């Protein structure tokens, strides 16, 4: 169930996973980009952690707004803009109601503010869209999330920095898809869904 407590746990678990996997995310980005995805994500995560430590916010929407501001202001690169827009869009949706599907639909719109990203273009959309489908059908598991992250190995990058080195990319997981996998693992573990 989505409450201010479970939403807070969702964000905290996401932060923990980003902390634990900073080097791994950098390593994934070394293969297809500039090697900074873990470090980028960690800057936003640290800022958000400090804000959360000051006390839980009044509502779910406030929590996601804090997250959006942290990623917009502290995380560099494409990921800062992407996760910033994801969280700010989700925050707006949570102002209407606490409906997870509505908020994830808004989050996807946040990603799409950078242009239309299709499936199989080796981005976090390759995790976001099938996860939404599984939530709708009440069949999301950790294994499925992992499967969607891993599936990006076989895709050719069409968006972002990785698109410029596309011929070398097969066999490598997309770093943004991997961090997005942590986001949804955290959601499951927090009992939001
Ligand atoms: P940068 O490429 O600026 O160094 P990061 O390394 O932090 O930024 O983030 C790279 C990730 O951003 C990629 O792995 C990919 O998942 C995601 N990405 C980049 N451009 C787009 C886009 N237009 N739409 C969706 N995701 C994107
Ligand atoms: Mg990078
Ligand atoms: Mg960069």
Give me ligand 2 centre to Cα 13, in Å: 23
Look up residue 97 and give its two tokens.
Answer: 């109601």
Per-residue pLDDT of 52-99, as tens digits, reads 999 867 899 999 999 999 999 999 889 999 999 999 999 999 999 999
Q: Is the CB of 2 under 6 A from ligand 1?
A: no
Homologous superfamily of domain range 4-189: DhaL domain (1.25.40.340)
Residue boundaries of the structural domains of the chain = 4-189
Q: What DSSP string runs through 108-123?
A: HHHHGGGS---TTSSS
Give me ligand 3 centre to Cα 5, in Å: 33
Report d(CA 30, CA 130) in Å as an integer.
26
Look up residue 42 and give its two tokens.
Answer: 């960690």
Report d(CA 5, CA 118) in Å as an integer.
34
Q: CA 163, 169, 172: angle at the middle one, nearest 5?
A: 125
Per-residue pLDDT of 1-56, as tens digits, reads 899 999 999 999 999 999 999 999 999 999 889 999 999 999 999 999 999 999 86
Report d(CA 98, CA 105) in Å as an integer.
13
Question: Is the CB of residue 145 less than 8 Å from the CB of residue 130?
Answer: no
Residue nearest to atom 26 of ligand 1 (CA): 123
Cα torsion 120, 121, 122, 127: sign: negative
Look up residue 25 and give its two tokens.
Answer: 């995310």
Cα torsion 48, 46, 21, 27: sign: positive
Which ipTM did the prediction report? 0.98
User: In which band, very low, low, confident or very high, does the pLDDT at 169 lie, cut at 50, 70 and 90?
Assistant: low
């Amino acid at each position: 169930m989505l409450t201010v407590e479970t939403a807070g746990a969702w964000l905290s678990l996401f932060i923990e996973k980003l902390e634990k996997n900073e080097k791994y995310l950098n390593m994934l980005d070394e293969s297809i980009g500039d090697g900074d995805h873990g470090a980028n994500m960690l800057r936003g995560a640290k800022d958000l952690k400090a804000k959360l430590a000051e006390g839980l916010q009044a509502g779910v929407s406030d929590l996601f707004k804090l997250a959006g501001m942290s990623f917009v202001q502290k995380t560099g690169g494409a990921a800062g803009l992407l996760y910033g827009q994801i969280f700010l869009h989700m925050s707006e949706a949570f102002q209407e109601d606490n409906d997870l599907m509505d908020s994830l639909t808004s989050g996807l719109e946040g990603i799409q503010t950078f242009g239309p990203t299709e499936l199989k273009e080796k981005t976090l959309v390759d995790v976001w869209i099938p996860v939404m489908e599984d939530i709708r059908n009440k069949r999301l598991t950790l294994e499925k999330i992992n499967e969607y992250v891993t599936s990006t190995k076989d895709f050719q990058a069409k968006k972002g920095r990785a698109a410029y080195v596309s011929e070398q990319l097969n066999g490598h997981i997309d770093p943004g898809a991997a961090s997005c996998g942590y986001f949804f693992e955290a959601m499951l573990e927090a009992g939001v869904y």
